[in-house]
């Protein structure tokens, strides 16, 4: 039996090829955070610092800490924003030393299980009047992700893939998220937005997903099978996203947003 492969680290450069599109939901989440002068802010899953930079521009006097499990992402964030603090952390067990006025989590908690325990724990760690602001992709039923599972089920790839499709669990409903937080909150706002990103071609869609949703699938494969998997996956993407009037492909991308504020403050 071969040794289990460690998952590859995240690739900041690949992630940032579509920086504007990836940062847009963070802009829109931040626009719904109604805090005047937060003193302590934590950016969970800060990645290469694109979301942290938004927080720093809005509140330059705040103490801002960026957290990520990826050493490569932390290094990229430190290079981008050398004046801010960034630390490697496991959000499943992390607790703040000082109660934050804002916990901001942009496109990260979809990778963390058991939201019914996680979100109330994060919410309870806030300072009085503090806000928990979350944005997560909710695209497991989109053709982009259905095609990953279909390709992984092909005979050539099924054995090494194992249960990799379970790397992300399905998100609870908006009603469920509301109920997780509302009993102890001054207010909870939940909503779902579907973005439609014009992409140059099927290959561009695949490149977008290599940095995120495709990672667990590619990490599970031996090097010799990856190019074949990508080719078959891209053929499915080409069929699922036909060329529009301008020859671009329109990729629908649903996302869930949650903004919850603690009593007090």
pLDDT one-digit tens code per residue, 11-68: 545 444 556 777 889 999 999 999 999 999 999 999 889 999 999 999 999 999 999 9
Label residue 212 by pLDDT band (50, 70, 90). Answer: confident
Query: Per mean pLDDT, which range of 162-171, 187-196, 198-207 is the poorest?
Result: 162-171
pLDDT of residue 265: 67
Distance of CA 141 to the CA centre of its chain: 16
Reported as a single tens digit per residue, the pLDDT across 75-106 is 999 999 999 999 999 999 999 999 999 999 99
Residue partners of 129: CB distance under 8 A and separation at least 6: 101, 186, 261, 262, 263, 264, 265
- Mean confidence (pLDDT) of the chain: 91
The pLDDT confidence band at residue 204, using thresholds 50, 70 and 90, is very high
- Burial (CB count <10 Å: 0-12, 13-18, 19+), residue 158: exposed
Contact call for residues 161 and 217 (beta carbons, < 8 A):
yes
Contacts of 48 (CB under 8 A, 6+ apart): 12, 15, 16, 73, 76, 77, 80
pLDDT at 23: 84
> Interhelix angle for 71-80 vs 50-58, to 10°?
40
Residue where the block lists tokens 């829109």: 28
Domains in the chain and their CATH numbers? 12-262 (3.40.50.150)
Answer for the pair 197, 139: CB distance below 8 angstroms, yes or no. no
Percent of the chain clearing pLDDT 90 (strictly above): 81
| 257 vs 1, residue with greater confidence | 257
Confidence class for position 6, pLDDT limits 50, 70, 90: very low
What pLDDT does residue 15 have? 43
């Amino acid at each position: 039996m071969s040794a289990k492969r460690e998952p590859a680290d995240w690739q900041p450069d690949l992630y940032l090829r579509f920086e504007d599109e990836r940062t847009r939901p963070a802009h829109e989440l931040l626009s719904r955070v109604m805090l005047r002068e937060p003193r302590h802010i934590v950016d969970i899953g800060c990645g290469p610092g694109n979301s942290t930079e938004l927080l720093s521009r809005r509140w330059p006097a705040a103490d801002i800490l960026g957290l990520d499990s990826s050493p490569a992402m932390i290094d990229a964030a430190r290079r981008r924003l050398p004046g801010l603090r960034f630390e490697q952390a496991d959000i499943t067990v992390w607790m703040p030393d000082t109660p934050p006025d804002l916990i901001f989590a942009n496109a990260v908690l979809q990778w963390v299980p058991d939201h019914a325990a996680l979100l109330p724990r994060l919410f309870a760690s806030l300072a009085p009047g503090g806000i928990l602001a979350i944005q997560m992709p909710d695209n497991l039923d989109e053709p982009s992700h259905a095609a990953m599972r279909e390709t992984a089920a092909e005979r050539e790839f099924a054995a090494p893939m194992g249960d990799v499709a379970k790397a992300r669990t399905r998100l609870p409903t908006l009603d469920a998220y509301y109920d997780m937080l509302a009993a102890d909150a001054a207010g909870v706002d939940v909503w779902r937005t579907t973005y439609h990103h014009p992409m140059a071609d099927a290959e561009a869609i695949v490149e977008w997903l290599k940095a995120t949703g495709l990672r667990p699938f590619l990490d599970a494969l031996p090097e010799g099978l990856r190019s074949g998997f990508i080719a078959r996956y891209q053929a499915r993407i080409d069929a699922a996203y036909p060329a529009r009037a301008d020859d671009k492909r329109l990729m629908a991308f649903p996302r869930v947003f949650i903004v919850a504020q603690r009593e007090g403050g």
